[in-house]
Amino acid sequence: FGHETDLEIRGQTQLSGDSNTVALECLTELDNRMGSIERSSHDQATWNETIRNDLVDILGRLAIVETEVQKVNRQGTNKSTEGQKTGRSLRRQQ
């Protein structure tokens, strides 16, 4: 005990008014801080929702790209198979 922090000293000097006034000031400050926290939480929730929606959109686009790549790969496989067949028939004709 006996050690007063700067905050405690400042708090005591600010408490020099009527106790009702001090209580009202404390409630006002608390209300302001709670409002700030609520806005901050709402902003964070909005950001999270935006990011989730963006990720869903990106995943949807990637699925489309993956499907197209698979189609191209299948077509490439079919063309190489056709090319092999054509090459064989040309060799037979010679």
pLDDT value, residue 23? 87
pLDDT at 69 over 90: yes
- pTM higher than the cut 0.85: no
In sequence order, the 6+-apart residues with CB closer than 8 A to the CB of 14 are 22
Radius of gyration of the chain (CA): 36
Average pLDDT of the residues of the chain: 79
Per-range mean pLDDT, top range of 6-20, 45-59, 72-86:
45-59
94 by DSSP, 3-state: which?
A: coil
Nearest to 25 by CA among 12, 15, 13: 15
pLDDT at 15 over 90: no
pLDDT value, residue 6? 54
